[in-house]
């Protein structure tokens, strides 16, 4: 049975990437309602510490590997976790890949755009992404010209970015493509090519006239089907898979009443009874980003290893290169033989002694030193609470205690007085928890 005292942790996993013990203490003191408010109003939170961390690095935004590291630093050290989590959501929603764009700086600019509008007005975000150089290249609108329209962006903006399949016709796609003619890019900026724009009359979803791209964006943002599509996708991302139609309608109505604002939708989701229920608790598989960033927070890292983005890619989530314009499927798609092996490899790496020597992570021994506990049961409970909120079967806890209560040969001992043995056992304990089913769930 889920108890009230873990809902803050649940919120921080979903509205962010997990938390450090210090962050958990901060939000717990606020209480659930105030914690939600702080998360959805990030501008009220001082994020200068992140700026200092970023400033201490030497990132080159023309290099995609540096861009991936930069974003990983942001997600790990930010004091505004929902801002970064929503930026990640929109990156998967408006999926754009550097494998086709081949311009890391334009991908960087798109990431800034997604963060700027992450919690704002969807119509403003949709207008921005439609004029975004990386998106224009990725979905071929640079080739969309008068007399020879390219339908790629017009189709995806309806199918994947707003209304969803079944809510538009082929004629709507063709007419919208005409409206987007001449919406090109030049020198990392939007460029309206007047010579290539079709100024003729058009009919998009029943709206007639000399429509251009801005008109189409406004039409799409206001559609009831867009409200439901976004509501379902946000509930699925933050709460649980296959959301109930009634809940979708509730959140969609918030979108309509607020004139397309994202913050009220998120507030309604985080305070909805289904979000605060066993239906949502530990009910989603962590994405590779959630798994890695959450682990770094739990282990109170000091620096980030340069190849962590590559490890996340091997787990199935290559940031700045989604698998297709559909983004990542998520859910059960995160689980395969290969991806689970990579998750377990990451767990082994995170608990390996050599990384403490590089000051990448705090060792398990360091984490419990100030707690002044050495009893096997207390040690197991400490790390179970830290990593999975104690959400394991009693038999699992019993076996972990048996493991910690033995020496390096497996012989049961009354106390682990030897620091070397204790350190090895605690590393093994954390590794076992990180490879458990419970740790794979958000």
- Which H helix or E strand runs over 109? helix 104-116
What pLDDT score does 362 carry?
Answer: 59
pLDDT, tens digit, for every residue of 313-360?
Answer: 999 999 999 999 999 999 999 999 999 999 999 999 988 865 454 445
Among the residue ranges 106-110, 125-129, 217-221, 359-363, the one predicted with the least confidence is: 359-363
The tokens 């290969």 sit on which residue? Answer: 338
The sign of the dihedral angle between the CA atoms of 190, 191, 194, 198 is: negative
The tokens 């200092």 sit on which residue? Answer: 52
Measured in whole angstroms, how far is the alpha carbon of residue 169 from the centre of its chain?
32
* Rounded (10°) angle between helices 262-270 and 81-93: 110
Non-local (6+) Cβ contacts of 147 within 8 A are 198
**355 burial type by CB count under 10 A (0-12 exposed, 13-18 middle, 19+ buried):** middle
* Rounded (10°) angle between helices 224-238 and 81-93: 120
pLDDT, tens digit, for every residue of 163-211?
Answer: 999 999 999 999 999 999 999 999 999 999 999 999 999 999 999 999 9
Predicted structure pTM score: 0.95
Non-local (6+) Cβ contacts of 285 within 8 A are 330, 331, 332, 334, 335, 440, 441, 442
Percent of the chain with pLDDT over 90: 85
What pLDDT score does 408 carry?
Answer: 67
Of all residues in the chain, what percent are helix, strand and coil, respectively (each to 5)?
Answer: 60, 5, 35
Q: Which of 116, 234, 130, 120 is nearest to 183 (CA)?
A: 130
CA dist., res. 145 & res. 192, Å (int): 11
pLDDT at 18 > cutoff 80: yes
């Amino acid at each position: 049975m889920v108890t009230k005292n873990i809902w803050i942790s649940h919120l921080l996993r979903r509205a962010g990437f997990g938390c450090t013990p210090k962050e958990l203490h901060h939000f717990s003191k606020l209480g659930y309602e105030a914690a939600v408010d702080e998360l959805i109003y990030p501008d009220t939170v001082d994020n200068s510490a992140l700026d200092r961390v970023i400033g201490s690095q030497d990132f080159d935004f023309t290099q995609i590997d540096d861009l991936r590291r930069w974003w990983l630093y942001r997600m790990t050290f930010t004091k505004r976790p929902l801002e970064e989590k929503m930026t990640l959501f929109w990156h998967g929603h408006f999926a754009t890949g550097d494998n086709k764009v081949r311009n890391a700086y334009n991908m960087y600019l798109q990431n800034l755009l997604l963060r700027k509008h992450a919690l704002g007005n969807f119509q403003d975000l949709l207008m921005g992404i439609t004029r975004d150089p990386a998106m224009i290249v990725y979905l071929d609108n640079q080739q969309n010209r008068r007399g020879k329209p390219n339908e790629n962006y017009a189709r995806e903006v309806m199918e994947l970015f707003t209304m969803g399949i079944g809510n538009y016709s082929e004629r709507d796609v063709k007419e919208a493509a005409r409206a987007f003619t001449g919406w090109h890019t030049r020198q990392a900026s939007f460029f309206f090519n007047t010579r290539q724009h079709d100024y003729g009359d058009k009919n998009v979803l029943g709206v007639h006239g000399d429509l251009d791209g801005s008109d189409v964006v406004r039409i799409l943002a206001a559609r009831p089907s867009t409200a439901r599509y976004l509501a379902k996708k946000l509930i699925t991302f933050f709460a649980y898979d296959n959301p109930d139609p009634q809940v979708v309608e509730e959140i969609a109505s918030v979108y309509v009443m607020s004139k397309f604002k994202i913050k009220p939708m998120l507030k309604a989701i985080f305070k909805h009874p289904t979000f605060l229920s066993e239906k949502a608790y530990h009910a989603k598989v962590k994405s590779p980003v959630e798994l890695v960033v959450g682990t770094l927070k739990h282990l109170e890292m000091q620096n980030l290893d340069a190849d962590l983005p590559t490890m996340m890619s091997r787990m199935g989530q290559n940031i700045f290169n989604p698998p297709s314009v559909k983004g990542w499927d998520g859910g059960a798609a995160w689980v395969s033989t290969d991806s689970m092996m990579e998750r377990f490899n990451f767990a082994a790496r995170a608990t390996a002694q050599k990384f403490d020597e590089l000051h990448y992570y705090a060792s398990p021994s360091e984490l419990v030193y100030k707690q002044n506990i050495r009893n096997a049961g207390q040690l197991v409970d400490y790390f179970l609470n830290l990593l999975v909120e104690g959400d394991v079967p009693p038999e699992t806890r019993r076996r972990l205690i048996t493991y910690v209560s033995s020496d390096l040969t497996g012989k049961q001992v009354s106390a682990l007085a030897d620091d070397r043995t204790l350190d090895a056992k605690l590393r093994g304990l954390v590794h076992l928890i990180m490879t458990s089913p419970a740790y794979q769930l958000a």
